Amino acid sequence: IPGQVRDWNEELQITKELSKKTLPERLIRERAMFKVHSDFVAAAIRGCQAVVDGNIMAINPGEES
């Protein structure tokens, strides 16, 4: 959902709790884990790029770097 902060830890923990007794269950679990991981990496890249581009304010703007 655009504009909503995702709880990456919760999403990953939910996928780890999925059943893996049968092959179809393992496939569903692995696909879900891959999706969460891929989404996290994409969000991290966007966040890093925003920092590099100067679009995110520093946590301590008055502190010397």
Query: Where are the chain's structural domains?
Result: 20-52
pLDDT at 22 over 80: yes
pLDDT at 57 over 70: yes
Q: How many angstroms separate the CA atoms of 45 and 51, rounded? A: 10
Per-residue pLDDT, averaged over 16-28, amounts to 97
Are 6 and 20 spatial neighbours (Cβ–Cβ below 8 Å)? no
Per-residue pLDDT, averaged over 25-39, amounts to 98
Which of 44, 17, 47 is CA-nearest to residue 32? Answer: 17
Per-residue pLDDT, averaged over 22-46, amounts to 97
| Tally of CB atoms within 10 A around 3 | 4
Per-residue pLDDT, averaged over 27-53, amounts to 95
pLDDT at 34 over 90: yes
